Structure 1
Amino acid sequence: MMVTKSSHFVSELANSIQPSGIRRFFDLASQMEDVVSLGVGEPDFTTPWNIIEASYHSLEQGYTAYTSNAGLFSLRREICRYLTKYDLDYNPEDEILVTVGASQAIDLVLRATIDRGDEVIIVNPGFVSYIPLIQMAGGKAVPLETKAENQFKPTPEQLEPLITAKTKAVFLCNPNNPTGTVLSRNDLEPIAQIVKDHDLLVYSDEIYAELIYEDDHVSTGALEGMKERTIIISGFSKAFAMTGWRLGYAVGPKEIIQAMLKIHQSSMMCASTMAQYAGLEALTGNSDNVKRMVRSYRQRRNYLVHQLNSMGLDCESPGGAFYLFPSIKKTGLSSEEFAERLLISEKVAVVPGSVFGESGEGYIRCSYATSMTQLEEASKRIQRFVENVE
């Protein structure tokens, strides 16, 4: 009898995808006791009760069937209304798609717009899922390596030389994961001009738009001439503490959204009905909880920035999201070595900056989406580690 190894059946594409560097450290930490995690980007707040209650009510009313493939019309209408706060104007009929988390929205837009061999310029450091999702769509990710001295902001001078005949799009994340960098109108407009000059698309991940601490969020799609070439990806996970509900959306030009819808119809059908009713409440109900969370994140950011700098880990105060990206270069360790040794010796989980791209080497990502008590304990342990590192 012939014995066949199951690995024989795994596709070349699946074999080529690198596993998540974030999840590797999260899995290591989950096997240890007394770990303080600054690793995974997930709010420590529970979903506000009015949102949970709305999902219960939808079940009690018997709303358990499929919704429209594009999502509940009432939810699509409210998302479009909500986006007007960022000077965005979309038709809920055909310019929006409700998805299973923002991650599915990214997957759909890449598959709907990329042909084999197309290039997508991505800002590094950048979220770890962008590259594998581009690869799975048949494209090639081209990194734009940003620098700490420029607050990890992409510049026109960096972008222009990367554009080739194969370039299809530029991928932006604003505010950025992992750096927390916020791109202002002055940062975005010259990039938008290059995009228009070369007839490119922009994929704009704006999942952290609510989590900005000093300035107002500026959406790429609101810039002059950019609505027709920008697909905005967002969702409910971060601002409304709804990570486990898996509810996101994409808005953009009708032709692209409808192409995404065709893939969504075959691969997913629709987002969870009860999650959609919860999302509807998130947008129409009391917003005090969101404001309270933002105030808390700002306080935590300020505390942890001060602590890291005081122990010699140079750290800028980022304008958004809930991440810090301190330099660990003075320790002489690589970001991978620093994160692994810190976890083993002091039981603090952080993410090595190298998993976010080459320009992330020499840095670590620390999430401050955890309690002040945990941040205080983590600070003590990190300082002890830094003082004793060899």
Structure 2
Amino acid sequence: MIGCGYVGLVAASCFAELGQNVICIDKDQTKIDLLKKGIAPISEPYLIELIEKNTKKNRLQFSSSFTPHIASSDLIFIAVGTFDPDQKERTDLTAIHTVIAEIAPHLTNHQVVINKSTAPIGTSRTLHNMIKKIAPNIQCSIASNPEFLRQGQAVADFMHPDRVVIGVESEHAQKKLELLYQPLESKGVPLLITDLESAEIIKYAANAFLATKISFINELSMLCEALNVDIRTVSSGIGLDRRIGKDFLNPGPGYGGSCLPKDIQTLIETAEQHNVSSHILKSVMTVNAAQQTRMIEKINLAFAGNLSDKKIAILGLTFKSGTDDMRHSPALVILPALIAGGAQLSAYDPQGMYAAKQILPKEMLYREDVYDAIAETDAIVLMTEWKIFTEINLAQAKKSMRGNIFIDLRNLYQKDKMQALGFDYYCI
């Protein structure tokens, strides 16, 4: 497994748990040293337990060197990042191409190279052509095996997936991967065997559809507010339809993370390259950006347009609960706008504060717990749906505030109950 990031480390640990002998390789020696000490570089439930268990059983190892591990492996997974830190909605294939250039000289006959990184349609075939050019005498196979892991639930998603998608161009690769995933297939997990390009587009189409559901419910929430209708009731009503499903129908400040924004943009660019329209996908992005602007306006409205010297507690910074990932978090758009308006922000997030400190304005203050963040503030803005924020002693919180405004951007609370406690409550 090449890459000890989010996808690679979870996949390597879970394959080891399924009984495989896995060597996880990463060029970052610091990361490898931490993993050898049993310290995970990412926050994910149950991951560290799998690492510790399978390291002790010698089924999981870590290294910063390709040799001799590449030549001695049957399956070689590529799970390196494609997130461009400079152009955050672009896919960067530099890391994948670098890996191919470095491993190709060490490949042997009958190995299977599997791309698990999210990459544009046609990438797997391009990688195979690169290998043929570098090592023309080696007969190896290529495959695409996209991941469908949700941050905060990645281990559970890997061990109990809705499906496993395998894109291949040879019977040899198909048999190898079917054998690898046999423990999951024996439990009833469907294996979808397809060609390389279909596997690649399935990944993009899935993420694009999920983002579409989010933008749909957020846009519908605007109409519900205008009509004085509870969007939560509407969401429940349509989500009970099995053709639609209830997931990804919770209104909020917009989607974020490293996947949905990048994958939608890549799908749009792919469509444009082939002279195909992508009106729906472009609208999804437009609605998402507009939703973040709308949240800024909602907060301003609660203060009658005057944020100057207002002290606001920010509960949650990451783009969703269960992760420390700040990439494309709505907080990156909303909070700088509040600071620019003169607000003083004190924030608490169970996992995201270290990352937030690196990228949010220096004026941000960070607190050790929820109640420290809330104390002596004029308002609370709930940004992320962490479970801990549903367990706040609201009477205690209100008593410690100097104001009474509560702006719930995740609709975690009920309006009548909040008003009964004396809060001036705003939600979506």
Report the TM-score range of the alignment, normalised by the length of the smaller protein. Answer: 0.3 to 0.5
Bigger Rg, which one: 2
Q: RCO (CA 8 Å, sep 6+): is it higher in 1 or 2?
A: 1
Q: TM-score, normalised by structure 2?
A: 0.32
Q: TM-score, normalised by structure 1?
A: 0.34
